Structure 1
Amino acid sequence: MLPALGVVLVLIGAVWTLQGSNLLGGSSMSGSPLWLVIGLVALVVGIWLVVRAVRAGRT
C-alpha cells in the first residue's frame, strides 16, 4: 500500500510542481507559488514513502 501511495504522490506532486512553476500551463494553478510549494511537499513525501517501503522490503 505504501509504495503505491508514494508513487501516486510523486506523480501528483510532479504535476503540481510543474504547474506551480508555470512549466505546465492550462490551469488556474499555473504560475501559482502556492501550488509549487504544495507540489514539492507532495513530491518529497511520496519519495520518502517509496524509499521507506523499499527499505522495509529488504529487511
Structure 2
Amino acid sequence: MRNAFNIVMRVVSTLLGLLLVCMGGVWILQGLNIAFKVGFMVNDKRWVVYGAILALVGVAQVVWSNTRQRA
C-alpha cells in the first residue's frame, strides 16, 4: 500500500512541476509580447522574470520528485 502511495504521489508531484513549467512559459511569452497578447502582463518585463522563476521551480519539482530516495 505504501509503495502504491509513493508512486501516485510521485506522478502527482511531477504533473504539478510540469504545470508550473507551462505556466512560467505562458508568463514569459506574455511578458515578451510574443503570444497571448491580451491582458495586463503583455509587454511587461517583470512577468518574464516571474515566469522564469516559476519555470525553474517547476523543473526543480520534477527533478526532486523523480530522484528522491524511495522509502
**Which residue of 2 is the match for residue 18 of structure 1?**
29
Query: How many percent of aligned residue pairs carry the same amino acid?
Result: 34
Q: Calculate the TM-score normalised by the size of structure 2.
A: 0.71
Residue 3 (structure 1) shift: 1.2
Long gaps (5+) in structure 1: none
- Matched residue of 1:29: which SS? coil
1:39 has 2:51 as partner = yes
Aligned-pair Cα RMSD in Å: 1.9
TM-score (norm 1): 0.83
The structure that has the greater radius of gyration is 2
**1:26 corresponds to which letter in structure 2?**
V
Correspondence 1:3-14 to 2 at 5 A: 3-14=14-25
In 2, the alpha carbon distance for the partners of 1:21 and 1:55 equals 33
- Greater CA deviation, 14-23 or 1-10? 1-10
Query: In structure 2, how many angstroms separate the alpha carbons of the residues matched to 1:51 and 1:11?
Result: 15
Match of 2:68, SS state, is: helix
